[in-house]
Structure 1
Amino acid sequence: MKSKIVVVDDDAGVRRVVVQALESKGYLVEAAAEGKEAVRLLDSSRPDLAILDWDLPEMTGLQICRFLRSHEKLANVPVLMLTVFSETRQKVAAFETGADDYLTKPFEVPELLARVAALLRRGRDAKSGSEVLEAGPIRLDAGAHTVTVAGEPASLRPKEFELLQTLLASTGRVLSREHLIERVWGYNSKLVTTRTVDAHIARLRGKLGKKGAALIQTVPGFGFKIDKEEK
C-alpha cells in the first residue's frame, strides 16, 4: 500500500517542488496552503506523514503539530517541519512540541526524500512490532502502540512512548541522558538538549500516574532507569 503524505506550505513554489518530488517516488500526496485547511485535510485523510511549514496563515506549523499530538487518531503521525527558521531554539521548540524531524529551507530534494523515507520506515516498524514490555504496573505493547498502568490506558505522545520503550527495554540499567537523546531523537540528537530529556521525563511521569511514575528513577549525575517493581 502506498504511503499517504500531507504537505502544508503557503509558498506555492515550495509546495509544488515537494509534492512533485514525493509523487515521483510513488507516494500519495495531498497539499494545503494554510493552517485551518491543513487541519481539515489531516483529519479527513489520516496520513502516514505530515510535512509542515512553520509560518502559515491562520495557524502555525507548531499549532498544527499540537493538534496532531492531541488527536486520538492522529497522535502518532510522524511530523517533519520544513521551514526557513534555523535557530537552535526554534528547532528545540519544534521537537518539544512533538515534531519528529526538522529540515531548513533552502533544502536539497534528495535529503528531503531520505528523511521522509526514514520517518515512514520508523512508523511502519512501530506498527509491525510485536514487543510487549512490562515493569510493575506498566505494560507497553509496541505492536498495538498502547501503554497501560494497572490496566488503565495512558495516552503518550510519540517521543514519550519511545522514551518509555527505551527505558523499559533496559529495565534495571541506568541510561544516561545522552544515550536517551541518541536513541529517541536519532540523527537530530545534536539539536536536543538534556533539558529536553528532563522535560519529557517529567511529562511521562505525570501521565503514568503515581504508581507508574514511581518506577522511573533519577540517578543523580548519571541519568534514569526503570525498576522492575515500585520501591
Structure 2
Amino acid sequence: PVEGIEQKFNKRLVLDKLSRRVWVSGQELLPPLSVPQFRLLEALYDNEGRVVSRQDLVLAVWGDEEAVGVSEQALDALVRRLRDRLAVLDPNHAYLITVRGYGLRLDNPPV
C-alpha cells in the first residue's frame, strides 16, 4: 500500500481512499471493486468495529436521491458480491458481519 496516507497498515484489510484500491492480507484486490462495492466497504471501514445500519449503508452507497428506491434485496446482493470478492484473497475470514435486524459491521483483525 501507498505510504504517507491515512491507513491501517497493521490490519488484514487496507483501503486507500485516494487511489480507490483495496488490499487483503497484503495482496491488492484486482480487478478493482465496482463503485458501489467500494462505497459499501468504505462506509464500513470508516466505522470499523461498529454496526452500521442498513439505511446508513444504502445512503452511503446510493446517496439521498437514489436511495429511495433501493430494495433490501439490492443491498443484500451488493453485500454478497463484496463478500465474494474479499473471500478470493482471504477465504478463511468473514470481514462483513451481519447484525440481524440492524445492519453490518466490519471485522478487520490485525495482520
Structure 2 match to 1:220:
100
TM-score w.r.t. structure 2 length? 0.80
TM-score w.r.t. structure 1 length? 0.40
Q: Which has the higher helix share?
A: 1
- Structure 1, unpaired ranges of 5+: 1-129
Alpha-carbon contact 1:172-1:227 (below 8 Å) kept: yes
Ranked by relative contact order (alpha carbons within 8 Å, sequence separation 6 or more), the top structure is: 2
Deviations, residues 120-148 of structure 1 (Å, cap 9, x unaligned): xxxxxxxxxx5535684111101111001
Question: Structure 1 vs Structure 2: percent identity of aligned residues?
Answer: 33
Distance in 1 (alpha carbons) for counterparts of 2:96 and 2:70: 21
Query: CA 1:194–1:142 in 2, change beyond 3 Å: closer, same or farther?
Result: same
Q: Which has the larger radius of gyration?
A: 1
Query: CA 1:202–1:169 in 2, change beyond 3 Å: closer, same or farther?
Result: same
Alpha-carbon contact 1:181-1:192 (below 8 Å) kept: yes
Distance in 1 (alpha carbons) for counterparts of 2:92 and 2:33: 16
Structure 2 match to 1:179:
56
Alpha-carbon contact 2:15-2:42 (below 8 Å) kept: yes
What CA RMSD, in Å, does the superposition of the two structures yield over aligned residues? 2.0
Query: Equivalent of 2:72, from 194, 207, 216?
Result: 194
Distance in 1 (alpha carbons) for counterparts of 2:28 and 2:92: 13
- Structure 2, unpaired ranges of 5+: none
Deviations, residues 181-228 of structure 1 (Å, cap 9, x unaligned): 11221121002112111111100010011245x121011111110123
Q: Which amino acid aligns with 1:189?
A: A
Alpha-carbon contact 2:11-2:109 (below 8 Å) kept: yes
